[in-house]
Chain A
Amino acid sequence: MTRDQARSHLVDVLAEIAPEADLSTVDSRAPLRPQLDLDSMDFLRCLQGLHARTGVDIPEADYPRLGTLDAILDYLVARAR
């Protein structure tokens, strides 16, 4: 999976959970959830959607490593088969 593909998956998933979210306005190195107003359920649904689309397993223990947009994309690219 390329970084662009990972980003495209994230855009698709966010369209369902936070329709008004616009990734192009996001600071990719600042905490993502406050920027997009994602609560813990939104975030869980987001990870579930990414898992369904990419097959990447995302254990809860890795949540602290998924704070920013850059970190999430790096994580997906590194973990995708």
Chain B
Amino acid sequence: MPSLGADMEAGTLVQWLVKPGDRVKRGDLVAVVETQKGAMEIEVFEDGVVEQLLVAVGARVPVGTPLAILGTGAPAPSEPVPPAAPLPAVPRAPAPWIRSSPSARVLAASLGLDLATIHGTGPHGAVRRVDVASLRPAPAARHGFDPAEMRAAIAAAMSRSKREIPHYYLARTIDLERAMDWLAQYNASVSITDRVLPAVMLVRAVARAVAEVPELNGFWIDGHFQPASAVHPGVAVSLRGGGLVAPALLDAAEGTLPELMVRFTDLVTRARAGRLRASELSAATLTVSNLGDLGADELFGVIYPPQVALVGLGRVHEVPVAVDGMLAIRPVVRASLAADHRASDGMRGSRFLARLDALLQSPESL
């Protein structure tokens, strides 16, 4: 049972997505687990073959409990072959011969499906594994999501944060005229289906900026700062019906901006449908909280432990500003940093906000 957050103590196994005999690759989804934050899909961390499922559906087990045994799939070489069982004295009616692959037979048996009832798409109508897999019932979305449980999880994490983390706060007003003009031009040049939101441009800039100030990207564990090797910003997503989650937008500094928009849309949509993956909940290396264009001007965040920084972004709005000694009307965003003073100091935090500002003045390079 993986830990899906610093405050998680136990989880309930809601559904197995694999059966004994299944070959799995690192990253495959193997189970659905119910936590205080709703249902999460659990990925496997190794390649191998599922040998045994140790936890029954419906069981609630502590973090760290083994869920299944994974083997290499190779038969143990020294193990003697057991003697064949004696044939039953009473002859059984032979089962009708169904062309099928071995893995299709195993999967069908584990799902309790009769091969004869499955339409095969392989050579000569052979039933392939994919034919069986297509009949596997899809997991229901949002198993028993409980807003009160989520509230309790937020309460636990935020109380721990304010108890343990000596926060310091910085803010900077960033002129977004170039960035918003560039984005408007880009969006006018593409179909409505490919438009990029300002929120995505901003999270990209945060990811690039924090890569240059590594003291803000990582975890405070056992009295030490452990820098993260990649930048996975957790993006705070408010949920309909209350509460919020901050799943990781993995490697947000990589790929093109339109690609990041596609991944961001997918992440937010799945967060709201309760279909996040376990790795997305535990991987965030800092958090970005963007209030959006209907939000407040500014926010000062509460760091999500064991992370050491939270970047707050207010709504983009127009204000009068001094530009080259003249008064101008410009769209601006108020960017804030809440950071853990055990891991970094105000000078480095200021450096981050300055880099964020500079990156947003060259939007074409984002």
Chain B CB within 8 A of A40 CB? yes
Contact A18 B240 (CB under 8 A): yes
Which residues of A have CB within 8 Å of B238? 39
Would you call B265 and A60 a contact (CB within 8 A)? no
- In the assembled complex, the Cα of A58 lies from the Cα of B187 at a distance in Å of 11
* Residues 163-199 of chain B, each 1 if its beta carbon lies under 8 Å from chain A, else 0: 0000000000000000000001001100011010111
A27 within 8 A of B: no
From known contacts A18-B240, A34-B294, A58-B192, infer whether A41 and B197 are also in contact, taking CB-CB under 8 Å: yes
Tell me whether B292 is interfacial, beta carbon within 8 Å: yes
Interface size for B (C-beta < 8 A) is: 18
With an 8 A cutoff between CB atoms, is B246 at the interface?
no
How many interface residues does A have (CB within 8 Å)? 19
Contacts of A37 in B (CB 8 A): 240
Whether B251 sits at the interface, judged by CB under 8 Å, is no
B197 in contact with A20 (CB, 8 Å): no
Q: Given A20-B240, A48-B193, A51-B192, are A40 and B187 neighbors across the interface (CB < 8 Å)?
A: no
Q: Are A60 and B292 in contact (CB under 8 A)?
A: no
Instruction: Decide if A33 touches B294 in the complex (CB within 8 Å).
Output: yes
Q: How far is the CB of A4 from chain B (nearest CB, A)?
A: 24
A41 and B192 within 8 A (CB)? no
Tell me the complex Cα distance, A34–B294, Å.
Answer: 8
For the complex, what is the distance from the CA of A59 to the CA of B184, rounded to whole Å?
Answer: 10
CA distance A41 to B195 in the complex (A): 10
**Does A47 touch B at the CB level, under 8 Å?**
yes
Known interface pairs A37-B240, A40-B293, A41-B268; A60-B187 also in contact (CB < 8 Å): yes
- Report the separation of the CA atoms of residues A40 and B199 in the bound assembly, to the nearest whole angstrom: 9
Q: Which residue of B192, B199, B241, B264 is within 8 Å of A47 (Cβ)? A: B192
A18 to B238, CA, bound (A): 13
Leading 7 A-B pairs by shortest Cβ distance: A39-B292, A60-B187, A51-B192, A40-B292, A40-B293, A40-B197, A48-B192
18 A–B contacts from the bound complex (CB under 8 Å): A20-B240, A20-B241, A34-B294, A37-B240, A39-B238, A39-B294, A40-B293, A41-B268, A44-B195, A44-B197, A45-B265, A47-B192, A51-B192, A51-B193, A59-B188, A60-B184, A60-B195, A61-B188
